[in-house]
Amino acid sequence: MAAIELLGAQPVILPHSYQRPRPFDATRYRARNAIKCCFGRLKQWRRLSTRYDRKARHFMAFLYYLAAFLIWNP
């Protein structure tokens, strides 16, 4: 943590209840949390990143299905 602060970065994570209190920017924390949750949700789509489908047409069919679902349910 000290090395990061030497670079001029500020902590955005809330301290635990057993840690020494420190100031943080609540707006930055909300933005950081939104990004963290977004990456967490993207990791649930392992089928896209690991490409389980052996044939390209099956993979593209899943992408079309996913796109249609996202368009149909905004």
Residue position matching structure tokens 């635990």? 16
> pLDDT band at 74, cuts 50/70/90?
low
Q: What is the mean pLDDT of the chain?
A: 81
Q: What is the mean pLDDT of residues 42-58?
A: 77
For 28-47, the pLDDT digits (tens) are 888 888 888 878 877 777 77
Angle at 44 between CA 40 and CA 48, to 5 degrees: 120
What pTM was computed for the model?
Answer: 0.48
Higher pLDDT, 14 or 33: 33
Angle at 49 between CA 55 and CA 71, to 5 degrees: 85
> Six-digit token pair at 58?
């099956």
The rounded Cα 70 to chain-centroid distance in angstroms is 19
